[in-house]
Amino acid sequence: MFRKARITLTIWYLAIIMAISIFFSTFIYIGATGEFNRILRMQEYRREHPEVRPRLIQDIQLQYQNLPIEPDPKVIEDAEARVLESLIGINLIIFIMSAISGYFLAGRTLRPIKKMMDEQNRFVSDSSHELRTPLTSLRSEIEVALRNKSLSVVNANKILQSNLEEVINLQILSDNLLELSQNGKLVSKNLMEDLSIAKIIDEAVRKTVSLAKIKQIKIENNVKDYKIKGVFDRLTEVFVILLDNAIKYSSKGSKVEIFSKVENNEIKISVKDYGIGIDSKDLTYIFDRFYRAEGSRTKHGYGLGLSIAKKIIESHGGLITAESKDSKGSVFTIILSKT
Ligand code: ADP
């Protein structure tokens, strides 16, 4: 498909360049032949009116006494033909050079579009793949239940409960996919306002504390308040993702710490856990869509949270980093400019 587009674009480049080149060549040809004919007419005039010959021309002609001063249309015709040949030659060279450089330029122009389309296709195929697994299990569970003529109410209830869980997960997945598909529009600059970091963290903690309680995990909030510019809901979402992961990937009774500091006019807010940690080979990929480290595949999650968090932080002009030493817990740090 891109080969065809590249050739079409090359033809367009070529057509534009050749149209300009032929336009100017025609002007050059008309100008040159006009000039030749003017010289011819001047010669004829001089022959017919020798008395009005300018002094300078007479002097020149004295030097070339042996040369015929008769006007010679044949010489002019030859000159015209040579000009035409040169112009055709030049246009041919321009044609070949434009075709080569046009093809190269078309490739360069289409490269970012191709990259974007490849990414889009990968996104669609990854999403379909992720949707297929829960849908298949949902379908087979329902089919098995329907075939069972002696299904008790208690068992039917259990199946419905499990189906509901799958549906909720699918809903989370589709919400996440929708969020990720809003390329670049995840955070609108018009919605940005002056915010307090402490309030954002308080809200994120409030949203995750019940999950932490289930695992008896203590959330230690040591955040000092700073002002930043951003969108409250979006930034809260980032910290919910980080806290949710910290709880999800930590064992029962563990703790999660949140702290902040200012360095070089930048605010750094970290979420630290003492959980399973992240292998160094996974660290570079965890912000990629659908990436899940080997050990966490069985846990809930589609590997979309961190890529959403990264997107939100980047649209705030910030940075998100992850560290994990010897796979003993992890530290996620958000870096934002101070207002
Ligand atoms: P998921 O929904 O699978 O947690 P994320 O994008 O939030 O997706 O995270 C991607 C992967 O990064 C996770 O599957 C997990 O392997 C790893 N990860 C993220 N946060 C942590 C953490 N705090 N501790 C250990 N591993 C983590």
**pLDDT digits 0-9 by tens, 286-326:** 999 888 887 655 556 788 999 999 999 999 999 999 999 86
Tens digits of residue pLDDT in 17-63: 999 999 999 999 999 999 888 888 877 777 777 666 555 555 555 55
pLDDT at 221 (0 to 100): 96
**293 alpha carbon – ligand 1 mean position (Å):** 7
Atom of ligand 1 nearest to the CA of 246: 23
Out of 271, 296, 330, mutate this one to test ligand 1's pocket (max ligand atoms within 8 Å of CB): namely 296
Q: What percent of the chain has pLDDT over 70?
A: 90
Lining ligand 1 with CB less than 6 A are 241, 245-246, 249, 273, 275-278, 286, 291-293, 296, 301-307, 330
Question: Which residue has the CA at smallest separation from atom 10 of ligand 1?
Answer: 303
8 A C-beta contact, residue 213 and residue 299: no
What's the confidence (pLDDT) of residue 335?
Answer: 97
> What distance in Å separates the CA atoms of residue 87 and residue 9, rounded to the nearest whole number?
26
Closest approach atom of ligand 1 to CA 277 = 25
Which residues make Cβ contacts (< 8 Å) with residue 180, sequence separation at least 6?
123, 289, 304, 307, 308, 311
- Counting residues of the chain whose pLDDT is more than 90, the rounded percentage is 61
**How much is the average pLDDT of 115-124?**
87
- Cα(301) to ligand 1 centroid in Å equals 8
> Ligand 1 centre from 292 Cα, in Å?
6
Task: Give the mutation target among 126, 243, 245, 280 for probing the ligand 1 site: most ligand atoms within 8 A of CB.
Answer: 245
Please tell me the pTM assigned to this model: 0.70
pLDDT above 60 for 252:
yes
